[in-house]
Structure 1
Amino acid sequence: MLRNVTAIAVVAASVLLLGATATPPPIPDDPTDPVRASEYWLDGAKIREAWKTTRGAGVTIAVIDTGIGKVPQTFGDAVVGGTDVSGTGTPDGRTPVGAVDGNHGSWVASLAAGRGAPDGKGMIGVAPEANLLSISVGFGAAAAVPFTEQVAKAMRWAVDNGADVINLSFTTNTLDWDESWDDAFLYAFEHDVVVVVAAGNRGSGTDIIGAPATIPGVLTVGGVDQTGTASIEASTQGITIGISAPSEGLLGVSANGEVVSWRGTSGAAPIVAGVAALIRSAHPDIKAIDVINRIIKTAMPVADAVKPRDPLYGFGLVDAAAAISADIAAVDKNPMGDLAEWIHFFRRAKTEPQPEPTVTPVAVEPLPDADAPTEAGSPLLPSADSLRYGTLPLIALTVPGILIALGVTAAARRIRSARVSRTPHS
């Protein structure tokens, strides 16, 4: 049970945190507020405990989604930049794109870094002092630009505009991805950005994990319910899941400011993205690969899950406080895989020029000299070849035939004469 695990594992209020400086003042937080009390993940994932060290200040989360609405209380000073790559939104990326999914980007952003009310009430995000970038994309008919092109452009824009963490709460329902994403995601990794991706939901028709959750190097997030059990409808499964977070009974602030209930790994991902922001805020010099490593190494274990990595839970349930405070050694490679290596072996290897084969010359003996030409003779006179192959064989066959014919004729005459001599005369 997620809540029970939290209750058992609560540590002392005074915690020594690596990279932390002075303890920040208490964050306005009223746990008795109905909305705030519904955010069970604040205690379940030990986010409130992590707030004793940091609330995400100095870190920027890029939300590549349908746009973050202009809700003053929730996103007033949070959104520091944005753009539209769909071809149908506004230049600042703040106008919701899509009649069906228009609020999706706002829900995601509110979970990651919603500000909450000054009196400690209302919905609050995991990293309420982190900055946000709003990059609006369009799904299906809500876009004038091909989706793969939108994502590639959005990734590069996010990196170039200061993103420390990128959140992608969507799936393509296919294991493969467009080649343009190779360089786009590699661009993010090479610029030390943490990329957090939703695993997808069975309830939405995703039976297996699809791209971008299959791209090596991203931190793929699976979903669990309020008890810490893998969600049947609001998650999926696959070997690329790295961590799990709540995906049921979630709250989100819509573009019009309304707080709604929703579910899906689209919500689990920004919870983890918020945790990544808390880590980067507490450890300003930490590398992206070490952020990911901290999250998976400090995950709360799940009973009966496959060790060390389960296709439903990944390495376990996210633990924000432990991810910040644990003494974890730095790593030299991304524990979620190496995209550059994958490209080399599975994409570029097919197009790299192959060495030309070495050809060894073969010595050929000279042909013998041709026969000297003979003098031309009269076509009416027989040649040696015509005598040998024509005239002589013809004579050899003809003469015996003539002799046999003459013998047969002579014999016939004798027989006829004998008959005549025996005939009686009248």
Structure 2
Amino acid sequence: MRIPAIHDSGITGDGVTIAVFDGALNPEIANLQGVDLEVRQLDACPDPLAAAASDFEALQHGTSVTSLIVGNGTSDSGVGPVGLAPGVRILYYGSLQEGCEGNPFPAALADAVAQGADIVTMSGGNGRLVEELSQKSADGVAAALRAGVVVVASLPNADSTWEGELGKINGVVNVASVDATAQAAKAQDGSPMTNDDVDVVAPGVDVAGVGWDRTWGMSAWSGNSAATPIVAGLLALAKEKWPDATASQLLQSLIRNTGSAPHELQWSNTFGHGTVNATRVIEEDPSQYPDENPLFTDGQVPTFDEVFAETDPLSTGAPDPSEERVSGVVPWAIAGGVLVAIAVVIVIMISRRKSGGHDNV
């Protein structure tokens, strides 16, 4: 993905805030020292910092996701994961821990929006959340999109027991994975994984992580969970490079500048719109694209009008965070404040059909 060249040009995600929704976290590891990371506590979930450092099963997933965004390149074994956007501010929510009660997603999302998140990334989920997927979740995504927040979510792996709770919610970037040769990750029978909700694919096979070998040195891991923070990090780099671009224009650029060469917009249930291309997304000015979120499908919620209809200018449109309190704990190396300007725009509805390709995208 030629990320070092982008970093060398001075683009690191500085000034951008990413909210990470995952499990427990170990912020004490070498790889996360010096990063701008704040853990937000959800009343419905255990403290994500409570797990012992030796509880690798609880910590490896969320810690590895975070390292792919802001990792400093070190680990207990020397070299470690280098984050795609090491300059971003991270808001961390332990919303996918096993001990969470009910569906903590709406409260976490509302707090992330209120705290100035530009991008929300969630790698994983479980059947309980799917069963409890409510209008509150759809309303929360609608409010986030209306506020100019990009929501990125992983699709289930071939051997997953959970379903993607955000896969059927409009406007979300649904991510699957490819290997180092840009071939689709394999299902259990050896065939390429497919999903009718995939939007883009990113590296997710044998990528750098921590904790997977039961040490806090660098180790390899695989899955759509690994590809998702890579997409979130790339969007953060693009947002820093093109600060005047809207969230919808960044998504337009993400799906139009895939692969190794310019091409017409396309889609398949294996690669979605294609493999993300960091160089092209950074080089291409997103303002050339329509200010229209391209990830809406007829028959799914929220509807386009529910998200982008004109609202009371005195209302933020966000769910009331007081319904389920979220408080900040342990602000790790917090940097300066972030000023977020929110613009509500009127856009034209785009219809996307996932079966047999996309029309009028």
Three-state SS of the structure 1 residue aligned to 2:273 is coil
Unaligned runs of 5+ in 1: 1-44, 348-426
Q: Cα deviation per residue 1:375-415 (whole Å; 9 max; x = unaligned)?
A: xxxxxxxxxxxxxxxxxxxxxxxxxxxxxxxxxxxxxxxxx
Change (3 A) 1:337 1:164: same
Change (3 A) 1:230 1:94: same
By how many angstroms is 1:177 displaced?
A: 3.1
Q: Which residue of 1 aligns with 2:81?
A: 123
Whether the 8 Å contact between 1:152 and 1:181 is mirrored in structure 2 is yes
Find 1:162's aligned residue among 94, 116, 132.
116
Provide the secondary structure at the position in 2 that maps to 1:343.
Answer: coil
| Residue 62 (structure 2) pairs with residue 105 (structure 1) | yes
Counterpart of 2:134 in structure 1: which amino acid?
D
- Quote the offset at 1:201 in angstroms: 0.1
User: How high is the sequence identity, in percent, across the aligned residues?
Assistant: 26
Structure 2 residue corresponding to 1:177, chosen from 133, 139, 155: 133
Q: Greater shift after overlay, 222-231 or 169-178?
A: 169-178
Deviation of 1:309 (Å): 0.3
Q: How many Å apart are 1:121 and its aligned residue?
A: 4.1
Structure 1 residues 360-399: aligned runs within 5 Å: none
Q: Which residue of 2 aligns with 1:398?
A: none
Please say if 1:78 is aligned against 2:32.
Answer: no
Q: Aligned partners of 2:5, 2:168: CA distance in 1, in Å?
A: 32
Partners of 1:287 and 1:80 in 2: CA distance = 25
> Could you tell me which residue of structure 1 aligns to residue 146 of structure 2?
190
Structure-2 residue corresponding to 1:315: 273
Maintained 8 Å contact 1:245/1:269: yes
Q: Which residues in structure 2 correspond to 1:210-229 (within 5 Å)?
A: 210-229=164-183
Which position in structure 2 is the counterpart of 1:7? none
- Equivalent-residue separation in structure 2 for 1:336 and 1:175 (angstroms): 23
In the other structure, the counterpart of 1:279 is 238
Higher helix share: 1
Structure-1 separation of matches of 2:193 and 2:20? 22
One-letter amino acid of the structure 1 residue matched with residue 266 of structure 2: P
Match of 2:101 in 1: 145
Provide the secondary structure at the position in 1 that maps to 2:244: coil
Distance in 2 (alpha carbons) for counterparts of 1:339 and 1:67: 36
d(CA) in 1 for partners of 2:230, 2:121: 10
Amino acid at match of 1:336: L
Give the aligned CA root-mean-square deviation in angstroms. 3.3
1:200-240 deviation per Cα after TM superposition (whole angstroms, max 9, x unaligned): 1002246xx63212211011111111211111149842232
Show CA shifts across 1:333-382 (max 9, x none). 101117998435999xxxxxxxxxxxxxxxxxxxxxxxxxxxxxxxxxxx
Q: Does 1:61 align with 2:18?
A: yes
Counterpart-to-counterpart distance in 1, 2:86 and 2:267: 30
Q: Secondary structure at the match of 1:212?
A: coil
Q: Give SS of 2:82's match.
A: coil
Unmatched 5+ stretches in structure 2: 307-361
Native 8 Å contact 2:154 2:164 kept in 1: no
CA contact (8 A) 1:172 1:212 kept: no
* Contact 2:138 2:301 (8 Å CA) reproduced: no
Matched residues in 2 for 1:88 and 1:68: separation?
13
Whether the 8 Å contact between 1:111 and 1:271 is mirrored in structure 2 is: yes
Matches within 5 A, 1:266-305: 266-300=225-259
Partners of 1:212 and 1:143 in 2: CA distance: 20
**CA shift in 2, pair 1:47/1:180, >3 Å:** same
Counterpart of 1:253? 210
Q: Is the 8 A contact 1:68 1:105 kept in 2?
A: yes
Deviation at 1:99, TM superposition (A): 7.6
For the residue of structure 2 that corresponds to 1:223, the secondary structure is: strand
Q: Offset at 1:85? A: 2.3
Give the structure, 1 or 2, with the largest relative contact order (CA under 8 Å, sep 6 or more). Answer: 2
CA contact (8 A) 2:152 2:232 kept: yes
Which has the larger Rg?
A: 1
Q: Distance in 1 between matches of 2:63 and 2:298?
A: 30
Q: 2:4 pairs with 48, 51, 61, which one?
A: 48
Inter-partner Cα distance in structure 2 for 1:161 and 1:344: 25
- Quickly say closer, same or farther: Cα 1:330–1:306, change in 2 above 3 A: closer
Q: CA deviation at 1:301?
A: 5.7
Question: CA, structure 1 residues 327+210, in 2 after alignment: closer, same or farther (shift >3 Å)?
Answer: same
Q: Deviations over 1:126-165 (max 9, x none)?
A: 11111211111244xx32411x2x1111111111112111
Q: Distance in 2 between matches of 1:339 and 1:160?
A: 29
Displacement after TM superposition at 1:72 (Å): 5.0
Corresponding position: 1:243 with 2:200: yes
TM-score by length of 1: 0.61
Match of 1:335 in 2: 294
Instruction: Give 1:331's aligned amino acid.
Output: P
Quick check: 2:13–2:86 contact (8 Å CA) kept in 1?
A: yes
**Between Structure 1 and Structure 2, which shows a larger proportion of strand residues?**
2
The 1:339/1:190 distance shift into structure 2, 3 A limit, reads farther
User: Is the CA contact (8 Å cut-off) linking 1:69 and 1:94 kept in structure 2?
Assistant: yes
Could you tell me the TM-score, scaled by structure 2's length?
Answer: 0.72
CA distance in 2, matches of 1:169, 1:82: 17
